[in-house]
Structure 1
Amino acid sequence: MNRIPAPALLLALAGLIPFLWAALLALGLTSAADWNLPAVFAGDGRLLMVRYGGIILPFMAGTLWAFATRAEGLPAFAAYVASVLPALWWFFMPGTSAETALINLAIGFAALLLIEIAFDRWQLTPSWWLALRIQLTVVVLICIAIGIWA
């Protein structure tokens, strides 16, 4: 089965909304006041992106931990170690400004995708996982790039 399950796809796309909103804020193309949104959606898009990305990167590391439980022996050790690297990266490299935090998030999400490719090759992920994650990661990295250069 290579088709992405509808619930996974819909929730994954919904998870992109804060990144996309933050990119629009960073570009100055919208504001929370324009849409009568809660205060959490107001302010500096770059900081919103750092806050949300700083939650999602470790969350995705947690999904890798779950996939690592499917491995055995030495491959399991490698999978468990790889699964915690994105969260540790964010803990040790949060950045000293919005720009450096976004750069470190971009590195973290790119590395996460490389780890997911390894997990796919080790046959630890569902058959549809990598197709979904590549698309999501591309959008996330574009949003982060907007935040860095806006």
Structure 2
Amino acid sequence: MPAFETSSPLPGDGRLPLALGLAGLLPFLAGAAAAWLAPVAWQAMAIPAFLAYSAVILSFLGGVQWGVAMSLEPAGSDGFRARLLLSMVPSLIAWPALLLHPLTGAWVLVAGFLLVRLHECGRGSRELLPDWFQSLRTLLTVVVVACHGLVIWRLGVA
């Protein structure tokens, strides 16, 4: 995948999306680290907090697709309807994942993040979304999935 770039025109400071995206990774990184390094009592809080944050962010990614449909798809088109319907899927994956055993829920959330990324890489999204967004989302997804991998590993060891 290409390195993060801001070759597409961005409003204002082109570093803002990168800074906000990286800031959004902090709870993932902290939660994954706490699952391994924190005292046991804190680990018991860190893992559910990690999973809850993951579910929130996965739902947020569905909202991004809703916004893309509303602003970039022609109203009433097949693409508009499909993107609106698909924008609901991340929330419908994230919320039930929180009701499952933490290990299973973490796997479900990983699947959700990967499905969203696959959709973003599809032809219809590549045509609508700028290159900088694609690069940023790839970076963020790799880190998020890696953090989930650490939490999954910890839950499997526990």
Q: Do they fold alike, i.e. is TM over 0.5? A: yes
Structure 1 length-normalised TM: 0.83
- Give the corresponding residue for 2:113: 109
- Give the corresponding residue for 1:132: 136
User: Which residue identity does 2:66 align to in structure 1?
Assistant: W
The answer as to 2:29 corresponding to 1:20 is: yes
For these two proteins, the number of residue pairs brought into alignment is 138
- Give the corresponding residue for 2:59: 58
* Distance (whole Å) between structure 1 residues aligned to residue 103 and residue 47 of structure 2: 8
Q: CA deviation at 1:49?
A: 1.1
Deviations 1:38-68 (A, max 9, x none): xxxx543321210111111101110111011
Task: Choose the corresponding residue for 1:77, options 77, 81, 85.
Answer: 81
* Distance (whole Å) between structure 2 residues aligned to residue 46 and residue 94 of structure 1: 11
Secondary structure (helix, strand or coil) at the match of 1:128 reads helix
* Distance (whole Å) between structure 2 residues aligned to residue 108 and residue 93 of structure 1: 10
- Give the corresponding residue for 1:96: 100
Contact 1:68 1:124 in 2 (8 A): no
* Distance (whole Å) between structure 2 residues aligned to residue 46 and residue 132 of structure 1: 26
CA distance change for structure 1 residues 2 and 46 in 2, over 3 Å: closer, same or farther?
Answer: same
CA distance change for structure 1 residues 134 and 3 in 2, over 3 Å: closer, same or farther?
Answer: farther
Runs of 5+ in structure 2 lacking a partner? 1-6
* Distance (whole Å) between structure 2 residues aligned to residue 60 and residue 20 of structure 1: 19
* Distance (whole Å) between structure 2 residues aligned to residue 95 and residue 16 of structure 1: 23
- Give the corresponding residue for 1:67: 68
* Distance (whole Å) between structure 1 residues aligned to residue 27 and residue 53 of structure 2: 7
- Give the corresponding residue for 1:37: none
Contact 1:117 1:130 in 2 (8 A): yes
* Distance (whole Å) between structure 2 residues aligned to residue 51 and residue 43 of structure 1: 14
Identical counterparts, % of pairs: 30
Moved more, 105-114 or 93-102: 93-102
